[in-house]
Structure 1
Amino acid sequence: MTRLHTRNVNVGYGDKTIVKNLQVEIPDKQITTIIGSNGCGKSTLLKAMTRIIQHQSGSIILDGESITKQNTKELAKKLAILPQNPESASGLTVGELVSYGRFPYQKGFGRLTIRDLEVVEWALDVTGIHEFKYESVDALSGGQRQRVWIAMSLAQETEMIFLDEPTTYLDMAHQLEVLELLKKLNREEGRTIVMVLHDLNQAARFADHIVAMKRGEIIKSGSCEEVIQRDVLRQVFHIDALIGRDPRTNKPVCLTYDLWKGEEETNEKIIYNPAAFASAYT
């Protein structure tokens, strides 16, 4: 099932077109990751699908209607976005920032209702940050702050959450912490997750669906097995990758890679020993 899709979409800045004639479908209640080299249009596509920026031509359809025709507050009840560099929350407590997610539901003077407060409490609980409710956002670690921004997105009560490189600037443990949280939200809450990731192995491990982009166009979209392929990665990243299987998840994993130098294909087979690879993790 697909609630969100694009048709022949072009997006750019000024006279420069970044995303070209794009057609993409976002599977409902699944995790989709968008991969590609820097400047290929990943973030631009994310911003266009969430109406942060306008598309130049084509159509972006959500629930059978163009997003350009939908009321802003109503659209904010359907989807939330966490940008790559969220605006500063200086001076705010965790609880105050998370409560900002209730903006689409507020009327009049914008006072929080009992329902709003209940949702904020739930968002703090599900993201594991309730203990920081009265602490300054500035005083938290990078991973904790990222959880706060995700909690704010959850407080919007949207069924779709978009994240632009949610693991940027985080160490390995905090990256895993954030991605595990998103997976939990997808599996237990049924949220549709769409995120831009740079790490191929993280993309393959956590995604149900992958969109691979290059120069504003989609090179390949589909399951992890269909996209994390040697020929696809060669086109998208200009690398010659050795693909194996993660012994813990059985998902495709990029074991190593070299820059692709454009040599002719050979019939040489690379032997991959799963047992040897697995021994490195035991």
Structure 2
Amino acid sequence: MARLYTEDLSIGYGERLIVKTLSVQIPDKKITTIIGSNGCGKSTLLKAMTRIISHQGGTVILDGESISKENTKVLARKMAILPQTPESASGLTVGELVSYGRFPYQSGLGRLTKKDYEAIDWALEVTGTKEFKYRPVDALSGGQRQRVWIAMALAQETEIIFLDEPTTYLDLAHQLEVLELLQKLNVEQDRTIVMVLHDLNQAARFADYMIALKDGQVVKAGRCEDVMKPDVLKKVFQIDAEIGRDPRTNKPMCITYNLAKGE
């Protein structure tokens, strides 16, 4: 059994359910990517699994316990999330922003300890942002800022990291830079990575496990080879796709596609 999974999870806003009786497992120490069209419930699922929003039914289980019963600081030591649109860091230096990742470990006085500073420096080092430590976050490029936000998540020292579209608004080089960093964290430090990605080929290239959603339900979950199939993509995206192999990674990739006829 996986450390993290949902059972019959239902999530909504008001009376409208976005995710309906959803049961998924997140493989330990692997990279999981979630794909689906806009509004299908991808971001909503991430928020519920990290307790940013509440759910109307079912449960999210982590280490055998419902996360709804977990102490907030204890939960924040187990999982971190980088939302799709991080809050403004205006007026903060890089080091100050990354230090916020140490909140779950701080006492009532809120003072940083030697261990906190060591964790901050390590997070800056591993994300290649140490040289920016004293620079304003606002002065960085989009790719640099994204790496700093990831550094803040890493400073939490959690084994599970959620990221909602971490490559949004980045150019191709910076997209690859961020995804390769996350892959390195997974391979070298056994971090469990869960991320929503729009680009199908990036999702397949960097994932060990994929979850395809449509209207708040799982269409297919499993290995990339099982999810990146024409029938699955037709159901999820209403496209008629040609699937081949990436010549560099041997992962499945969408070569081309048309709108599915009759859809």
Q: Which residue of 1 aligns with 2:121?
A: 121
Q: Which runs of 5+ in 1 are unaligned?
A: 264-282
TM-superposed CA distance for 1:109, in Å, is 1.1
Q: Which residue of 2 aligns with 1:201?
A: 201
CA deviation string 1:54-100 (max 9, x = no partner): 01011110000000000000000000000000000000000000000
Separation in 2, partners of 1:5, 1:132? 37
Separation in 1, partners of 2:60, 2:85? 24
Q: Which residue of 1 aligns with 2:226?
A: 226
Residues 1:14 and 2:14 are matched in the alignment: yes
Separation in 2, partners of 1:190, 1:154? 13
Q: Which residue of 1 aligns with 2:52?
A: 52
Separation in 1, partners of 2:18, 2:228? 24
Residues 1:24 and 2:24 are matched in the alignment: yes
Q: Which residue of 2 aligns with 1:277?
A: none
TM-superposed CA distance for 1:108, in Å, is 2.4
SS at structure 2 position matched to 1:2: coil
CA deviation string 1:215-264 (max 9, x = no partner): 1100000000000001000000000000000000000010000000139x
Residues 1:61 and 2:61 are matched in the alignment: yes
Q: Map of 1:80-119 to 2, 5 A cutoff?
A: 80-119=80-119
SS at structure 1 position matched to 2:144: helix
**TM-score, with length taken from structure 1:** 0.92
TM-superposed CA distance for 1:180, in Å, is 0.3
Residues 1:2 and 2:6 are matched in the alignment: no
SS at structure 1 position matched to 2:37: coil
Q: Which residue of 2 aligns with 1:146?
A: 146
TM-superposed CA distance for 1:121, in Å, is 0.5
Q: Partner letter of residue 95 of structure 1?
A: G
SS at structure 2 position matched to 1:226: helix
Separation in 2, partners of 1:210, 1:82? 19
RMSD value, Cα: 0.7
CA deviation string 1:92-121 (max 9, x = no partner): 000000000000000021110000000000
TM-superposed CA distance for 1:140, in Å, is 0.2
**TM-score, with length taken from structure 2:** 0.99
Q: Which residue of 1 aligns with 2:38?
A: 38
Q: Which runs of 5+ in 2 are unaligned?
A: none
Q: Map of 1:187-266 to 2, 5 A cutoff?
A: 187-262=187-262
Separation in 2, partners of 1:108, 1:256? 56
Separation in 2, partners of 1:2, 1:149? 27
SS at structure 1 position matched to 2:3: strand
**Highest CA radius of gyration, 1 or 2?**
1
Q: Which residue of 2 aligns with 1:274?
A: none
Q: Partner letter of residue 10 of structure 1?
A: S
SS at structure 2 position matched to 1:44: helix
Separation in 2, partners of 1:111, 1:52? 25
Separation in 2, partners of 1:43, 1:118? 32
Separation in 2, partners of 1:246, 1:76? 37
Q: Partner letter of residue 253 of structure 1?
A: M
How many pairs align? 263
